[in-house]
Homo-oligomer: A and B are copies of this chain.
Amino acid sequence: MSIRHTILGLLHYRDLHGYRIKEVIEQNFGHMWTINFGQIYPNLKKMLAEELITVREVVRLGEKGPPRKLYSITEAGKNEFTDWLAISPENGMLLRDPFLMRFVFFGFGDKNRAVEIIDDRIGEFQQQLKKREENLETWERNDIYVNLMAELGIKMNRLLLEWMEESRKRIIEAETVGAAV
C-alpha cells in the first residue's frame, strides 16, 4: 500500500507517465527500492478508477505504438496523501540483501570463495558510491527532505564499504589462526 502513496507524492512535484515514474523512483530512492511495471500500471489503473489521479494528456508517439499518458493528482488524491503522511509509521525497517543472507553462513563454506564474493561486492559498492556522490553534486535540489535522503544513501553506502573492507581483513587474519564453527 505504499507504491500508491509514493506515486501520489511524486505527482505533487509534476505530472508523470508510468514509465517515467519508474525512472524517478529508481533515481531518487534507488538505495531502497526496486519497482516493476507490473506494479506501476495496475496501480495507476486502480487509482484512476478511484479518482485519486487523472489523465491530463495523451501523447501519441507512433500510429500503433502505445500512447503516453500523463497523470496528475486530484484533490481527492492530495487528501488521501496528506492523511497518510500524518500517520505514525507502523512496522520497522526491513533490510533484505541476498549477499548479507549468505554472509552469515560463510563459516560453513569455502573461505576463498567467501573472500571472492566479498571482493565482487566491494567493487559494486565503490561504483555505486561514485555515482551517488556525483548525483548529489549536480542535482542541487531545493527540498531539504529529498536532500537529506540522498545524503543518507551515501552515508549507508560508505558504512557498508568500510564494514566489508574490515570484514575482509578479519576473515583473512582468522584463516591463519584456525577454522571457526
As for how many copies of this chain the complex holds, the number is 2
Asked if residues A93 and B95 are in contact (CB atoms below 8 Å), the reply is: yes
Residues of B within 8 A of A89 (CB): 97-99, 101-102, 117, 121
Give the distance in Å from the alpha carbon of A167 to the alpha carbon of B163 in the complex: 24
**Would you call A108 and B82 a contact (CB within 8 A)?**
yes
A interface with B by C-beta (< 8 Å): 2, 5-6, 9, 12, 28-29, 31-34, 81-82, 84-86, 88-110, 113, 117, 120-121, 124, 142-146, 148-149, 151-152, 155-156, 159-160, 163, 167, 170-171, 174, 180-181
Query: Is B159 a contact of A101 with CB atoms below 8 Å?
Result: no
Which B residue's beta carbon lies closest to that of A173?
A: B144
Contact B2 A143 (CB under 8 A): no
Known A-B contacts A32-B97, A93-B95, A95-B32; the reply to A107 vs B2 at CB < 8 A is: no
Cα–Cα, bound, A170→B40 (Å): 33
* Contacts A28-B104, A86-B113, A89-B99 supplied; 19 other A-B pairs, CB < 8 Å: A2-B101, A82-B109, A84-B102, A86-B109, A89-B98, A89-B117, A89-B121, A91-B98, A93-B96, A94-B94, A94-B97, A103-B145, A107-B143, A107-B144, A107-B146, A144-B171, A148-B167, A152-B163, A155-B159
